[in-house]
Amino acid sequence: MINPVVDLGIPESVGGMQNVQTLGRINAVIKARKAPFYRGRLDHINVDHVSRPEEWAKIPILEMSAMKTMGQEAFLQAFCVSERKDIVEFWRSDDTGLLFPRTSRDQRYAMVGVKRALVLGGLGEDDLTHLSLPMGMDPTGHLMAQSATEIGIAMVCCGAEDLSAQLDLVRLLQPSAWIGRVSTGLALAQLAANQKVDLVIDGVRRMLCTGEALSDETRRSLSQKWGAEVRDCLALSELMMLGCEDAECYGFRFWSDYCYPEILDPQTMEQVEEGVAGMLVLTPLVTNHATPFLRMNTGRMATMRSGSRLRTAFDVFPVIQLVG
């Protein structure tokens, strides 16, 4: 039985969360000062006071679009603060096309973030899960597989290719859960319909989507075709698995102890009120041992609010909902 506080490192209270964030932001600035990109850009920041809004606001916004134009070599020279011997993996970003180096410590935290999503998504030790994610430079697939194994969730790692072979495995093994991209789930359902295969009978009960936008219409379609509850995950290859929908399926419970979120007015760059849409700006607090980004503008609009209290350990996390 997974203990979210012990096994998933979830703070026990909102106050505990704030303490973690304070220390995390201090360490984030200290790490960033080692990166050539930030040389001279953080000299005016009082590290001891970065948890104060006025001090934190002095840190310049990092535009993801600017990183995209750098090219791989220049990007690594500007941001990577780890030696080559400490890099254990590279993650490819679809948004920037860059490869992001990760240390073993980054990997461990990233796997905890995935474990949280699996547990919050309703998967458990009794599940056999069909995994339809690519197993390449995009990290989500193999992190899902490794993390699930560590918490006792059986995985059938199929990759995202060869839909016919995947459908054969679904029919043979009758998994209780499915993880993959929305487009793959729909394509498998269409193939099943073409072959007169009923996915609803004794089939998947839960579906966990990631990597693509999940609209209300698509959610209903997937749920009807598979006869399953559908939830969505939020992940960025530049950072980690950042959150997952809870039972309400209204926005993502966001791991704000692992990544500090801000919703800013695009014009004033000031924090907006709860529930008001603004640009989503993120600072990694745990996956920053190789690339210590600060206040990274994701280029996405979102809202942030306190989540409904569902009497679970995940209640301490805010809910972020993407807009548009």
pLDDT confidence of residue 1: 67
pLDDT band at 254 (very low <50, low <70, confident <90, very high): very high
> What number is the average pLDDT over the span 205-232?
94
pTM of the model: 0.94
The number of beta carbons lying within 10 Å of the beta carbon of residue 54 is 7
pLDDT tens column, 70-114? 899 999 999 999 999 999 999 998 888 899 999 999 999 999 999
> What number is the average pLDDT over the span 230-250?
93
Q: Could you give the CA distance from residue 188 to residue 133 in angstroms, rounded to a whole number?
A: 13
Q: Could you give the CA distance from residue 289 to residue 292 in angstroms, rounded to a whole number?
A: 6
pLDDT confidence of residue 73: 95
Beta bridge partners of 280: 263
pLDDT confidence of residue 189: 95
Instruction: Look at the alpha carbons of 139, 143, 146, 148 in this order and tell me if their dihedral is positive or negative.
Output: negative
Q: Structure tokens of 165?
A: 């072979």
Beta bridge partners of 262: 281
- Gyration radius of the chain's alpha carbons: 20
307 three-state secondary structure: coil
pLDDT tens column, 45-72? 999 999 999 999 999 999 988 888 889 9
Residue 76 identity: L
pLDDT at residue 248 is higher than 80 = yes
pLDDT confidence of residue 192: 94
pLDDT band at 142 (very low <50, low <70, confident <90, very high): very high
pLDDT confidence of residue 68: 84
Q: What is the CATH number of the domain that holds 8?
A: 3.40.50.12780
- Closest-CA residue to 37 (of 85, 5, 80): 80
Helices within 88-243 (DSSP H only): 104-120, 140-150, 163-173, 182-194, 216-226
pLDDT tens column, 169-216? 999 999 999 999 999 999 999 999 999 999 988 789 999 999 898 999
pLDDT at residue 153 is higher than 90 = yes
pLDDT confidence of residue 36: 97
pLDDT confidence of residue 93: 86
pLDDT, mean over the chain: 93
pLDDT over 70, % of the chain: 100
Helices within 121-181 (DSSP H only): 140-150, 163-173
pLDDT band at 39 (very low <50, low <70, confident <90, very high): very high
Provide the residue range defining the domain that includes 231: 4-323
pLDDT confidence of residue 308: 77
pLDDT confidence of residue 167: 94
Structural domain total, the chain = 1
> What number is the average pLDDT over the span 218-228?
95
> What number is the average pLDDT over the span 303-317?
89
Tokens 């979120």 found at: 261
